[in-house]
Amino acid sequence: MAIAQAAPGPNLLFVAVVGWNIAGLAGVAATLAGSLLPSTTLALAAARYGDRYREARTMRAFSAGMAPLTLGLLLATGWVLTAPVRNSWGAMLLVPLTVLLLLKTAVSPIWLVAAGAVVGAMGWV
Protein backbone atom coordinates (compact mmCIF):
# COMPACT_ATOMS: atom_id res chain seq x y z
CA MET A 1 0.00 0.00 0.00
CA ALA A 2 2.85 2.41 0.79
CA ILE A 3 4.43 1.82 -2.61
CA ALA A 4 1.07 2.30 -4.33
CA GLN A 5 0.56 5.65 -2.57
CA ALA A 6 4.04 6.89 -3.50
CA ALA A 7 3.90 6.05 -7.20
CA PRO A 8 1.91 7.64 -10.01
CA GLY A 9 -1.43 5.99 -10.57
CA PRO A 10 -1.53 4.39 -7.13
CA ASN A 11 -4.95 2.78 -7.51
CA LEU A 12 -3.94 1.04 -10.71
CA LEU A 13 -0.74 -0.28 -9.16
CA PHE A 14 -2.58 -1.49 -6.09
CA VAL A 15 -5.19 -3.28 -8.19
CA ALA A 16 -2.46 -5.15 -10.06
CA VAL A 17 -0.85 -6.25 -6.79
CA VAL A 18 -4.17 -7.49 -5.45
CA GLY A 19 -4.71 -9.43 -8.67
CA TRP A 20 -1.25 -10.95 -8.37
CA ASN A 21 -1.86 -12.00 -4.77
CA ILE A 22 -5.18 -13.62 -5.62
CA ALA A 23 -4.50 -15.39 -8.90
CA GLY A 24 -0.96 -14.68 -10.09
CA LEU A 25 -0.46 -13.48 -13.65
CA ALA A 26 -4.06 -14.27 -14.62
CA GLY A 27 -5.23 -12.15 -11.69
CA VAL A 28 -3.08 -9.23 -12.83
CA ALA A 29 -4.52 -9.51 -16.33
CA ALA A 30 -8.09 -9.71 -15.02
CA THR A 31 -7.78 -6.80 -12.59
CA LEU A 32 -5.99 -4.55 -15.07
CA ALA A 33 -8.51 -5.35 -17.80
CA GLY A 34 -11.35 -4.61 -15.41
CA SER A 35 -9.73 -1.33 -14.37
CA LEU A 36 -8.49 -0.12 -17.73
CA LEU A 37 -11.03 -1.28 -20.31
CA PRO A 38 -14.06 0.74 -19.15
CA SER A 39 -12.23 4.07 -18.83
CA THR A 40 -10.20 3.49 -21.99
CA THR A 41 -13.33 2.61 -23.96
CA LEU A 42 -15.16 5.69 -22.69
CA ALA A 43 -12.21 7.98 -23.47
CA LEU A 44 -11.83 6.51 -26.97
CA ALA A 45 -15.55 6.86 -27.69
CA ALA A 46 -15.58 10.47 -26.45
CA ALA A 47 -12.51 11.34 -28.52
CA ARG A 48 -13.98 9.81 -31.67
CA TYR A 49 -17.31 11.54 -31.10
CA GLY A 50 -15.56 14.86 -30.53
CA ASP A 51 -13.47 14.42 -33.65
CA ARG A 52 -16.47 13.46 -35.79
CA TYR A 53 -18.65 16.36 -34.63
CA ARG A 54 -15.99 19.00 -33.93
CA GLU A 55 -17.71 21.60 -36.12
CA ALA A 56 -21.14 21.09 -34.54
CA ARG A 57 -22.45 24.01 -32.55
CA THR A 58 -22.84 21.96 -29.38
CA MET A 59 -19.28 20.64 -29.59
CA ARG A 60 -17.86 24.13 -30.11
CA ALA A 61 -19.89 25.38 -27.13
CA PHE A 62 -18.67 22.47 -25.01
CA SER A 63 -15.04 23.18 -25.95
CA ALA A 64 -15.44 26.90 -25.28
CA GLY A 65 -16.96 26.16 -21.88
CA MET A 66 -14.32 23.62 -20.91
CA ALA A 67 -11.39 25.96 -21.65
CA PRO A 68 -11.85 28.24 -18.61
CA LEU A 69 -12.72 25.28 -16.42
CA THR A 70 -9.53 23.50 -17.43
CA LEU A 71 -7.48 26.63 -16.86
CA GLY A 72 -9.03 27.11 -13.44
CA LEU A 73 -8.30 23.52 -12.44
CA LEU A 74 -4.71 23.85 -13.61
CA LEU A 75 -4.26 27.04 -11.61
CA ALA A 76 -5.82 25.46 -8.54
CA THR A 77 -3.52 22.46 -8.85
CA GLY A 78 -0.54 24.75 -9.23
CA TRP A 79 -1.57 26.67 -6.12
CA VAL A 80 -1.83 23.45 -4.11
CA LEU A 81 1.58 22.32 -5.35
CA THR A 82 3.20 25.58 -4.23
CA ALA A 83 1.99 25.13 -0.62
CA PRO A 84 5.36 23.92 0.74
CA VAL A 85 7.25 26.90 -0.68
CA ARG A 86 4.76 29.75 -0.36
CA ASN A 87 6.85 31.40 2.34
CA SER A 88 9.85 31.57 0.01
CA TRP A 89 9.74 34.65 -2.21
CA GLY A 90 12.33 33.12 -4.55
CA ALA A 91 10.24 30.04 -5.17
CA MET A 92 7.08 32.06 -5.65
CA LEU A 93 8.93 34.25 -8.15
CA LEU A 94 9.73 31.16 -10.18
CA VAL A 95 6.05 30.35 -10.65
CA PRO A 96 5.08 33.40 -12.78
CA LEU A 97 8.48 33.29 -14.49
CA THR A 98 7.82 29.69 -15.54
CA VAL A 99 4.33 30.52 -16.78
CA LEU A 100 5.69 33.49 -18.74
CA LEU A 101 8.40 31.38 -20.34
CA LEU A 102 5.87 28.73 -21.32
CA LEU A 103 3.56 31.32 -22.87
CA LYS A 104 6.17 33.39 -24.70
CA THR A 105 8.73 30.82 -25.87
CA ALA A 106 8.78 27.40 -27.44
CA VAL A 107 10.90 25.91 -24.65
CA SER A 108 9.85 22.43 -23.60
CA PRO A 109 8.22 22.25 -20.16
CA ILE A 110 10.55 19.41 -19.21
CA TRP A 111 13.48 21.85 -19.17
CA LEU A 112 11.63 24.11 -16.77
CA VAL A 113 10.79 21.15 -14.54
CA ALA A 114 14.47 20.16 -14.61
CA ALA A 115 15.53 23.73 -13.80
CA GLY A 116 13.09 23.79 -10.88
CA ALA A 117 14.51 20.49 -9.63
CA VAL A 118 18.06 21.86 -9.79
CA VAL A 119 17.06 25.09 -8.02
CA GLY A 120 15.30 23.11 -5.30
CA ALA A 121 18.09 20.56 -4.91
CA MET A 122 20.69 23.30 -4.59
CA GLY A 123 18.60 24.99 -1.90
CA TRP A 124 18.51 28.28 -3.79
CA VAL A 125 14.90 28.98 -2.86
- Is residue 2 domain-shared with residue 48, that is, in the same domain? yes
Would 34 be classed as within a structural domain?
yes
Residue whose C-alpha is closest to residue 50's, from 72, 69, 36, 58: 58
- Please report the sign of the dihedral spanned by the C-alpha atoms of residue 81, residue 85, residue 87, residue 91: negative
Q: How many domains does the chain contain in total? A: 2
Would 120 be classed as within a structural domain?
yes
| pLDDT per residue as tens, the chain (125 positions) | 444 455 556 667 788 889 999 999 999 999 989 988 888 899 899 999 999 999 999 999 999 999 999 888 888 888 888 888 888 888 888 888 888 998 999 999 899 889 888 988 888 77
- Please report the sign of the dihedral spanned by the C-alpha atoms of residue 24, residue 30, residue 35, residue 39: positive
Would 107 be classed as within a structural domain?
yes
Domain holding 118, by residue range, is 87-125
- In the prediction, which pLDDT does 4 show? 47
11: CB partners within 8 A, 6+ apart: 4, 35
